[in-house]
A and B are shown apart, each in its own frame.
Chain A
């Protein structure tokens, strides 16, 4: 199937540059311009208007309201929600260095996320806040959010961030004091609160839910426009149990919206023979610990504690934990970040200051020697979280993230993706895009159109990546699970794979005689490392070359049957 576009505007997609869904701007003056997404705003408005006329007027109140309408005016903004600085005990760079690197590597937005803890809460916040304000003033073309890498009580780390506002710093400070797992588990004598056994022990779980409700209350009371939380490196130590992930989302659905589909530290698996650290990609080399969820068990067929093609097991496994949440109809989005602390082959090393006493490592020290043991890439260098937003404002980019208009991309595998899912015949004929919800009449057909644009130039390894294949993954939406620790979606499969040979391609698939609500999502690969059934391979500890195993994952679309 192909070319099922309607309204006669498909020629725009083939002849007008740049296309909807592309975040590549050839006119951008930065080194590799994955930035300042031009967009066919006029077309989008026209299409949106037509849609209102066809499905909006005169319909009953019970008609489902689609979200993330396809064709709505938006641009694409690349970013990174997980960046450390000298204000982390294990970090080293200044805020201004990280902002410069993010700009250099084509990012439009970034979040400063130093580790929560006693010293950070007491000493670092007051230092990082003015640094961030200064960086904003001197870099008008990038959004710099202030955030926190929160030790989720009872679980892993998470990005928490807010747009700039009068209450931002106060909210972050109070949030960290009240709910950081490091502070809650540190004794009173050592400046903490001594309320939970360990940062990751299960007695912290109620504090995590209270924390997220606190953030949501700040939004509802108008102290901040929006606040978001993404769970970071969720499978690394197995301490984010399925019921915790579900609990966070349910506690604050406007705040807890997703997780890293791919962790940072993607250089850590480069082999020693290739001049790298020879560690594990993503630093995913752990095994079950005392606070790990018992359902995450290495077996003869899989190891949940490893990455697969650079992506976290929860995301990479078709029919795995991510799919089990989506199969409930539960919106839960994935991202990809750098988690940059120390950059592979940089000569800079941490400053000499005592972070525990001063809240900062001080200025980094140039060792003059390339640090091949460092495992990270700079922001935007390898991992990008690309967000569809109606404007380049702090709040709107966050709303795009909240709405799931998000693609996680490694190594510039693609420059653009336009996903459209719509009903053929009775239902939402306009359709929706990434993160959206559309509807079709029972027994009807749903058309999926994937227009993908490959890399128009080299990535930061100096090679032009080639997208080799796309997978269309889909599964039935079966409603809330009774077992909150469910971690599989047996009905979810790769329904179709498309071989990609051209730089710009459009693929169409039609789901016919749709019997019930379902969801679908798209991922793609450079095809260099695939299992026999076309999936990602478990990354080898000590030998995982990130540039020769590139993937992107797009967020899902839900289709309601009415």
Chain B
């Protein structure tokens, strides 16, 4: 597997950034089964870089060693997560290795309301999804697609 590192022109973290990055990859005809975003803080101003595991097509960016960690914007099986799923199903149907509850443990039977937006954490080759208790006796991913933005996100 080849990994490449890309530095997008604008920087952010979140659903909007993901969409831009993923559609840019698609437009370029690049097939990548794992796409990670990662904040690099080496310079005074932090920037988000993208690591993509290339499965086909021309690889843009710089070829690099597999990254140690990142936030996963695309992974195998992601599209099957569209609504409420049991933990067992998430682990079975996708590349997610583990579902971990925050402050509350989950079992294979625990239901997770994904709302079609799932961003597991990638670390040392494992994908871990953090979930937390939500309304109605289900859990939900700790990262939601549209967190509240003060003043429309202006600042």
Which stretch of A65-73, A265-273, A489-497, A519-527 is in the interface? A265-273
Q: Which of A537-551 contact B (CB under 8 A)?
A: 537-538, 540-543
- A290 and B47 within 8 A (CB): yes
Could you tell me the distance in whole angstroms from the C-beta of A303 to the nearest C-beta in chain B? Answer: 5
Q: How far is the CA of A201 from the CA of B140 in the complex (A)?
A: 29
Contact of A90 with B41 at beta-carbon distance under 8 Å, contacts A298-B102, A303-B102, A541-B134 already known: no
Q: Which of B103-155 contact A (CB under 8 A)?
A: 103, 130, 132-136, 140, 142-144, 147-148, 150-152, 154-155
Residue A197 at the chain B interface, CB threshold 8 Å: yes
Residue B12 at the chain A interface, CB threshold 8 Å: yes
Q: How far is the CA of A115 from the CA of B151 in the complex (A)?
A: 8
Residue A92 at the chain B interface, CB threshold 8 Å: no
For chain A, which range describes its interface: under 10, 10 to 19, 20 to 34, or 35 or more residues? 35 or more
Q: Which of B78-94 contact A (CB under 8 A)?
A: none
- B151 and A302 within 8 A (CB): no
Contact of A182 with B154 at beta-carbon distance under 8 Å, contacts A288-B13, A290-B46 already known: yes
* Interface mask (A197-233 → B, CB under 8 Å = 1, otherwise 0): 1111111000000000000000000000000000000
Residue A300 at the chain B interface, CB threshold 8 Å: yes
Contact of A538 among B45, B130, B132, B140 (CB under 8 A): B132
Q: How far is the CA of A117 from the CA of B154 in the complex (A)?
A: 9
Residue A147 at the chain B interface, CB threshold 8 Å: no
Chain B residue numbers with a CB within 8 Å of A272 are 135
Instruction: Select the residue from B48, B142, B151 with max chain A CB neighbours within 10 A.
Output: B151
Measured CB to CB, the nearest residue on chain B to A289 is B13
For chain B, which range describes its interface: under 10, 10 to 19, 20 to 34, or 35 or more residues? 20 to 34
Contact of A285 with B147 at beta-carbon distance under 8 Å, contacts A200-B155, A290-B48 already known: yes
Residue A280 at the chain B interface, CB threshold 8 Å: yes
Chain B residue numbers with a CB within 8 Å of A151 are 155
Give me the interface of B with A, judged by CB distance under 8 Å.
11-14, 39, 41, 44-48, 100-103, 130, 132-136, 140, 142-144, 147-148, 150-152, 154-155
- A89 and B46 within 8 A (CB): no
Residue A21 at the chain B interface, CB threshold 8 Å: no
Chain A residue numbers with a CB within 8 Å of B154 are 89, 117, 182
Instruction: Give me 6 A-to-B residue pairs in the complex whose CB atoms sit less than 8 angstroms apart, sorted by A's number.
Output: A157-B155, A272-B135, A279-B148, A287-B142, A291-B46, A306-B132
Could you tell me the distance in whole angstroms from the C-beta of A384 to the nearest C-beta in chain B? Answer: 22
Instruction: Select the residue from A117, A200, A287, A306 with max chain B CB neighbours within 10 A.
Output: A287
Q: How far is the CA of A288 from the CA of B17 in the complex (A)?
A: 14
Q: How far is the CA of A203 from the CA of B46 in the complex (A)?
A: 9
Contact of B12 among A117, A289, A305 (CB under 8 A): A289
Chain B residue numbers with a CB within 8 Å of A541 are 132, 134-135, 140, 144
- A283 and B148 within 8 A (CB): yes
Measured CB to CB, the nearest residue on chain A to B142 is A298
Measured CB to CB, the nearest residue on chain B to A284 is B148
Contact of A285 with B11 at beta-carbon distance under 8 Å, contacts A89-B151, A294-B41 already known: no
- B47 and A273 within 8 A (CB): no
Q: How far is the CA of A291 from the CA of B40 in the complex (A)?
A: 10
Chain A residue numbers with a CB within 8 Å of B134 are 540-543
Chain B residue numbers with a CB within 8 Å of A115 are 151, 155
Chain A residue numbers with a CB within 8 Å of B45 are 197-198, 201-203
Chain A residue numbers with a CB within 8 Å of B46 are 201-202, 290-291
Chain B residue numbers with a CB within 8 Å of A89 are 151-152, 154
Chain B residue numbers with a CB within 8 Å of A300 are 100-103, 130
Q: How far is the CA of A279 from the CA of B135 in the complex (A)?
A: 10
Instruction: Select the residue from A90, A197, A538, A542 with max chain B CB neighbours within 10 A.
Output: A542
Contact of A301 with B103 at beta-carbon distance under 8 Å, contacts A200-B155, A202-B44 already known: yes
Q: How far is the CA of A288 from the CA of B73 in the complex (A)?
A: 14
Could you tell me the distance in whole angstroms from the C-beta of B140 to the nearest C-beta in chain A? Answer: 7
Contact of A199 with B155 at beta-carbon distance under 8 Å, contacts A272-B135, A540-B133 already known: yes
- A203 and B151 within 8 A (CB): no
Q: How far is the CA of A28 from the CA of B100 in the complex (A)?
A: 52
